[in-house]
Each structure stands twice: as structure tokens, then as C-alpha cells.
């Protein structure tokens, strides 16, 4: 684990050094748990988002996409339950004033015990915690912390406050004059923008159940424990899809999406062995089944995506609070030969964090390779083996030297290829150094134009993952790259 932690720290530094991720407002010493994506990061993030959007709205002919606003009428969050329930039990250490999420504090302690070989105690803690959380027994949670003498990482004392709940939503004011302003929230999830548009989309798109509405966009949560880089952020992006189904069929669709989403992650290059399902024991107030698809991050197995069977809770709540009928007329025939008629649809949700998926892909891609060359000397490189189809730059075009007509040939190739995929042109530094820079940002293909090219119109293509090279016709470069990024 210590080694994995080091690799994770290396990855974080690499992200900064190569224009993937910067700390937000870094020149002012940053803002905790808020990050900016740099030139390579923004492109990779967009490519991942595009793959998800395509897989949802293009590969499924019964799913459409929307883009709802971040601001919503405040009653939305009363109806959804977020005003009353979107909170985590927290505890403060009185000596350091440091605040902890109770589940994180106990989980951390349990992991420490496991590392010390105390498996029985580690499991006992988690079981006790789950039972206490399920019944909102805050006094019991505090006692569990105190009985096990769990200390604050900063003050190293056991001097704890009572356990309290803190709402995770950010609020702000809308309206120009103070007296007329109203408190509104920055959405903590994108799902509600879909629910309130259910009828708009169903009617204007003439959608027939079962159908889905997909959306990607920013969400905001005032996370108390904000660490592990972009795993847990205060401003992040979600990719959510709500699938509306006939009541009684939700378990079939839940199983369908459970399998479908895991398959999709595998299609993004994530090995099946690094993914697993985790069924929820304590269900949210709206769910009749829920699971996480977990990934083995460098810091352990953690949630990547949630699949939730949300029943008709959300639509019913919005119906009640808005006093508008939100129903669907199903004219398919039931076993008695009559139309199913009017009902409030049930919902199966798939919800994945774009930033978490980005971290998943980068943590798999990051490799620090060392090898012995034929002449016996040591060599190494840091490479991002990002799947070619989502790599920020697909092709680097490199004239061997800055003269003798080679840049002209390279520029012409660049003009031809850049309308089809993202290319990068560079003529500075030795070729080996340029290859290493391309490895470090994850460019899967490099093409070198040399003096021989002028004679035979052949170029050297170099493959990032195994560093092999071959001569191919200049005229076939574009097609070859296009085939490999499918
Ligand atoms: P967690 O238990 O890790 O806090 P959650 O169960 O609250 O997550 P959901 O509300 O189900 O998460 O949100 C769906 C997805 O959104 C998560 O699977 C995760 O990928 C992503 N997500 C949630 N919170 C954050 C966050 N603070 N930063 C980055 N991604 C997040």
C-alpha cells in the first residue's frame, strides 16, 4: 500500500507537470477540493464525456440527452428531500477543531486495524457502524468512537463533540435587491433537472416507456472530508441517466443497467478484475435497490458509479410539490388485453462521476517503466497508456530537423489530419526527447519525417505502448490512425 500511495503522489505531480490538472486558484494557494483541468486534462475529460454521451444517446435509440440549468427553483430541493436529508453525520475534535465525517473516521480506523492484522476488530467496527448509521443512532456512533479511543489525526486526542448532521448543499442568493432575493442552491446532483423535465421531454419527443433521459453537468457538494485529489471534490461533474419504466418492471431494468454499465467501463479499457459490485445495505429513502460499481483505486476499492432503483419517489414528490400531474399514459396492453393506462413511472438511475472516471483512467494509464538496453545501460520513461480513442492528442507530427524541406512535408500532413483528429506538431529538440514528452502526455502515435521521406514518401510511425517503430507510406498515416482510434 505504501508503494501505491507513492505512485498516487507521483501521478498527482505528473498531472500538474503535464497540463492535466491544476489546483484551483493556485496563485492564491489554492481552494481545497477544487481543481482546474489544464490543456490536456480538459481534452481528455471531454473525450470521456463524449464517449458516455454517445453510448447513451446514440447507441440506445430510446435515450435522449438534455442540458438543464444548474440553478433550479428552490422547491425542487424540498421535494427531492435534499433540504431535509442531504447531510452527513459529522464529529469535531475539540482540540484541533478538525471536522470529520463519522463514517470516514471509523472506516479509517478499521483499515488501520486491518493493516495491523486485527481483522476481527476491523470487521466488528464496520458492522457496528452500519447498524448505528441505519438507525441514525448518533449517541451510539460517538460511543463507538470513544470506546475504541479513536484519535484525531491532528491533535492526537480523543476529545470529541457530539455527532451532528451538516447539509452538503451550497446556497446563494438570486435577485438584485436584498429584500427581494431568495435563497437558491447550487445543484448537488444533475438528476433533478431530468425529473422536472420528464413531461417536457416525453411529450415533445413522443417518448414511449421504457425510455431514458441523459445529462452531464456540474454538481456541487460542500464535502467536509475533501481529500484524495479529484476523487472527492466540492465542484465536480456527473453523467447521469434516468430510465423511466413501467411499475413492477424496475428490477429487470436494474439488472440490465447493472450489467450494461459495467460492460461500458470495460469498453473504456478498465480491466474487469479492477471492477466489482457493492450492494447497498442501507438504502436511501427513495430506493428499493441500489449498488455501486467500485474500482480499485490506488487507495483502495471505492465507488465509481451508482445504480439506483429510485421507484416513483422523485416524480411523485414533484407532482405533490408542484401540484402538476406528472403521469404517463401507457396504451400497451396488459395480460387482460386492456391498456396499462395512467401511472407515475418508476426510475432506474445510472450515475457516474466524470472526474472519478478520469482518475480511474489516469491511474490505470500511468506507468513508470525501467529497462536495460542492449548496450547494458539503464533506461526509463513515464508513460500514460490512455486508450487511443480517448487520448487528448492522437498523433504527434515530428520533422527530424527544422530544415531541408522536412517541416513543409510535416505541416502538409498536419493540415490533412487535423480535421479528422487532434494532432500536435513539434520540431524542437532531439527526436528521443520529443518521443518521451509525447509518452508523458499519452499521445499514442508519433510520426517522424526524415530525409529519406523526401526520396520514398515513407515515414516512421512509433507506437507509444511498446515503443516499436515501422516505416509506412506518408499517404497512409491518416487512415491508420483513424482505424486505431475507433
Ligand atoms: P460517496 O459515497 O463517495 O460520497 P455518493 O454515494 O454520495 O458518493 P452519488 O450521490 O451516488 O454519490 O453520486 C453519483 C456519483 O457522483 C458517484 O458515484 C461519484 O462518481 C460522483 N460523486 C459524488 N460525489 C462526488 C464528489 N464529491 N466528487 C467527485 N465525484 C463525486
Cβ partners under 8 Å of residue 289, min gap 6:
250, 251, 254, 283, 308, 309
Architecture label for domain 51-70+193-362: 2-Layer Sandwich (3.30)
Output the CA 312–ligand 1 centroid distance in Å. 22
Summarize the confidence of residues 353-369 as an average pLDDT.
Answer: 97
First to last CA, the chain: 36
Q: Which three cell numbers stand for residue 12?
A: 498527482
Greatest pairwise CA separation for the chain in angstroms: 82
pLDDT bin (cut points 50, 70, 90) of residue 110 is very high
Question: Which ligand 1 atom sits nearest the alpha carbon of residue 305?
Answer: 18
Query: What tens digit of pLDDT does each residue of 394-448 get?
Result: 999 999 999 999 999 999 999 999 999 999 999 999 999 999 999 999 999 999 9
Nearest alpha carbon, ligand 1 atom 19: 353
The whole-number pLDDT of residue 228 equals 85
Q: CB of 351 closer than 6 A to ligand 1?
A: yes
Tell me whether strands 328-333 and 469-473 are parallel, antiparallel or unpaired. Answer: unpaired
Query: Do the two domains 89-167 and 373-484 of this chain adopt the same fold?
Result: no
The whole-number pLDDT of residue 85 equals 84
For residue 43, CA distances in Å to 24, 46, 139, 216 come to 17, 5, 48, 16
Residue pair 328/343 in contact by the 8 Å Cβ criterion: yes
The whole-number pLDDT of residue 112 equals 92
Output the CA 46–ligand 1 centroid distance in Å. 19
Q: CB of 306 closer than 6 A to ligand 1?
A: yes
Summarize the confidence of residues 231-254 as an average pLDDT.
Answer: 97
Quickly list H helices, 71-222: 75-79, 82-85, 102-115, 119-134, 138-147, 191-195, 198-204
Tell me whether strands 99-101 and 87-92 are parallel, antiparallel or unpaired. Answer: antiparallel
CA–CA dist 239, 268 (Å, integer)? 15
The whole-number pLDDT of residue 284 equals 80
Residue 285 has pLDDT above 80, yes or no: no
CA–CA dist 222, 82 (Å, integer)? 13
Residue 11 has pLDDT above 80, yes or no: yes
Tell me whether strands 339-343 and 171-174 are parallel, antiparallel or unpaired. Answer: unpaired
89-167: which CATH topology? Herpes Virus-1 (3.30.40)
Determine the CATH number of domain 373-484.
Answer: 3.40.50.800
What are the structural domain ranges in the chain? 51-70+193-362, 89-167, 373-484
The whole-number pLDDT of residue 454 equals 95
Q: CB of 233 closer than 6 A to ligand 1?
A: yes
Nearest alpha carbon, ligand 1 atom 21: 353
Amino acid at each position: 500500500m505504501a508503494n501505491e500511495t507513492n505512485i498516487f503522489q507521483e501521478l498527482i505531480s505528473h498531472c500538474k507537470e503535464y497540463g492535466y490538472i491544476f489546483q484551483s486558484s493556485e496563485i492564491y494557494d489554492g481552494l481545497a477540493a477544487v481543481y482546474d483541468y489544464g490543456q490536456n486534462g480538459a481534452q481528455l475529460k471531454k473525450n470521456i464525456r463524449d464517449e458516455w454521451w454517445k453510448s447513451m444517446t446514440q447507441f440506445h435509440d430510446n435515450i435522449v440527452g438534455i442540458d438543464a440549468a444548474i440553478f433550479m427553483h428552490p422547491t425542487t430541493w424540498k421535494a427531492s428531500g435534499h433540504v431535509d436529508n442531504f447531510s452527513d453525520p459529522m464529529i469535531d475534535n475539540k482540540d484541533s477543531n478538525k471536522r470529520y465525517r463519522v463514517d470516514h473516521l471509523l472506516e479509517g480506523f478499521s483499515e488501520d486495524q486491518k493493516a495491523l492484522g486485527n481483522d476481527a476488530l476491523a470487521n466488528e467496527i464496520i458492522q457496528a457502524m452500519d447498524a448505528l448509521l441505519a438507525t441514525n443512532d448518533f449517541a451510539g456512533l460517538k460511543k463507538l468512537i470513544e470506546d475504541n479511543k479513536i484519535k484525531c489525526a491532528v491533535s492526537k486526542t480523543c476529545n470529541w463533540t457530539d455527532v451532528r448532521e451538516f447539509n452538503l448543499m451550497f446556497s446563494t442568493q438570486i435577485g438584485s435587491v436584498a429584500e427581494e432575493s431568495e435563497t437558491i442552491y447550487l445543484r448537488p446532483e444533475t438528476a433533478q433537472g431530468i425529473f422536472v423535465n420528464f413531461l417536457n421531454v416525453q411529450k415533445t419527443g413522443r417518448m414511449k416507456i421504457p425510455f431514458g433521459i441523459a445529462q452531464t453537468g456540474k454538481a456541487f457538494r460542500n464535502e467536509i472530508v475533501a481529500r484524495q485529489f479529484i476523487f472527492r471534490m466540492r465542484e465536480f461533474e456527473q453523467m447521469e441517466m434516468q430510465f423511466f419504466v413501467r411499475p413492477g418492471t424496475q428490477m429487470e431494468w436494474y439488472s440490465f443497467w447493472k450489467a450494461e454499465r459495467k460492460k461500458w467501463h470495460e469498453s473504456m479499457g478498465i480491466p474487469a478484475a479492477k471492477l466489482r459490485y457493492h450492494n447497498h445495505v442501507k438504502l436511501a429513502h427513495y430506493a428499493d435497490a441500489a449498488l455501486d460499481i467500485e474500482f480499485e483505486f490506488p487507495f483502495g476499492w471505492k465507488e465509481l458509479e451508482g445504480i439506483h432503483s429510485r421507484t416513483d419517489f422523485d416524480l411523485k414528490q414533484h407532482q405533490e410539490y408542484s401540484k402538476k400531474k406528472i403521469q404517463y399514459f401507457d396504451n400497451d396492453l396488459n395480460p387482460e388485453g386492456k391498456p396499462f393506462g395512467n401511472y407515475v413511472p418508476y426510475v432506474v438511475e445510472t450515475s457516474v462521476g466524470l472526474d472519478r472516471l478520469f482518475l480511474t483512467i489516469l491511474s490505470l494509464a500511468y506507468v513508470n517503466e525501467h529497462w536495460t538496453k542492449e548496450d547494458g545501460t539503464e533506461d526509463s520513461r513515464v508513460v500514460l497508456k490512455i486508450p487511443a480513442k480517448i487520448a487528448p492528442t492522437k498523433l504527434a507530427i515530428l520533422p527530424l530537423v527544422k530544415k531541408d524541406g522536412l517541416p513543409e512535408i510535416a505541416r502538409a500532413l498536419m493540415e490533412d489530419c487535423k480535421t479528422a483528429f487532434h494532432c500536435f506538431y513539434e520540431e524542437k529538440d532531439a527526436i528521443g526527447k520529443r518521443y518521451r514528452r509525447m509518452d508523458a502526455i499519452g499521445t499514442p502515435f508519433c510520426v517522424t519525417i526524415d530525409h529519406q521521406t523526401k526520396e520514398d514518401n515513407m515515414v516512421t510511425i512509433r507506437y507509444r505502448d511498446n515503443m516499436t517503430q515501422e516505416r509506412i507510406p506518408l499517404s497512409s498515416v491518416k487512415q491508420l490512425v483513424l482505424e486505431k482510434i475507433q
